[in-house]
Amino acid sequence: MNVIGKILAFLNLVFSCLVGALVIMVYMTRTQYAAVLDKERQLRQIDMANTKALQTEVNDLKADKSASGATKDSDLKKVQDDLARQVQANADLTKNLKEEQNKYTKAEAIVTSTKVEVERRQNEVEKLTSTLKEQFAKNIELTRDKNELRDKAVSAEILSRSMKDQNNRLEGQLRDLSKELIKIKANQGATTTLAKDAPNPPKEDIEGLVRASDPTGLVQITLGSDAGLVRGHTLEVYRLNPTVPSQSKYLGRIRILDVTATGAVGQPVGRMNAPVQAGDTVASRILGG
């Protein structure tokens, strides 16, 4: 075999391999194409089934629409009527809201003016309160001065009446002594006792109250031996009236007959200016007079 024959044999072998490869490729291509074609057929069948189902559903929907069209129109009309009513209600609410806003604006203006007026009134009240406090303090001071003057007036009235009563008593005693002297001269010097109503007050200044008195003239008082009181002492009796000082009066003098630690019994000396009552004052002397 020469060289050309070898070349041709080699080329024949190469072409044979190429043909085999092409055959294999065609086979594989045909096999894959058949599988793809089967898959496409299945998908097409599925699409057709879905299309048929959709068509059936569309037909049903058309039937339902034609059947329920009247009902939906009626519902639509109701909805439209409700919407119209709601729009009108909204318009009314908007109008009412504007009116309420106007009322609120007016009320706010009134509140502002009222607040200003209240603040002004508060300032006036504070000023009046300050003035009232000052006036109240002045009234207290005037009341205190008035009470002091009233007490002084009561004391002066009591002292005046006491001095007057004492003067009257001394005049009576002087007349009695004159009569006694006349009797002594008539009896050529015969002795007689001095007036039994001579004052005999305790050494210390003491003051108490009348506890009770009886028709016989005996007087129970709140002073006793604890205050230095003994039998024979005399006490001045007077009645105070702080409200009406002119009605305060000196009643007279009592002499102590019996004494206990916290009380005593006295008897009027001479004629009293008025009956002694519970609550009257007894003292060793009238206001230091």
Sole residue written with tokens 């092409």? 22
**What whole-number distance in Å separates Cα of residue 247 and Cα of residue 273?**
13
CATH number at residue 208: 2.40.10.410
**99: three-class secondary structure by DSSP:** helix
Residue 208 domain-assigned (yes or no):
yes
Centre a 10 Å sphere on the Cβ of residue 159 and count the other Cβ atoms it contains: 16
Structural domain contains residue 271 = yes
Residue 276 placed within a domain: yes
Lowest mean pLDDT among 18-22, 133-137, 177-181: 177-181
**Structure-token pair, residue 156:** 């002066």
**For residue 269, what is the enclosing H or E element?**
strand 264-269
What is the rounded radius of gyration, in angstroms, for the C-alpha atoms of the chain? 70
Query: Position of tokens 């089967």?
Result: 38
Number of folded domains that form the chain: 1
DSSP 108-129: HHHHHHHHHHHHHHHHHHHHHH
Give, as one character, the DSSP assignment of residue 195.
Answer: P
Q: Are strands 207-213 and 234-239 parallel, antiparallel or unpaired?
A: unpaired
77-87 pLDDT per residue, tens: 887 888 888 88
Residue 237 lies in a domain: yes
Residues shown for the chain? 289
The encoded tokens of residue 240 equal 């105070």
Binned at pLDDT 50, 70 and 90, residue 174 comes out as low
**Is residue 251 assigned to a domain?**
yes
Q: Is this structure's pTM higher than 0.75?
A: no
Residue 108, domain member (yes or no) = no
- Percent of the chain topping pLDDT 90: 21
Assigned domain for 269 exists: yes
Question: How much is the pLDDT for 255?
Answer: 95
Q: Which domain holds residue 287?
A: 197-289
What percent of the chain shows pLDDT beyond 70? 83
Question: 234 has which bridge partners?
Answer: 255
Where is pLDDT greater, at 121 or 217?
A: 217
Residue 223 falls inside a structural domain: yes
CA 264 vs. chain centroid, Å, equals 55
Taking Cα atoms as reference points, which of 198, 266, 204 lies closest to residue 237? 266
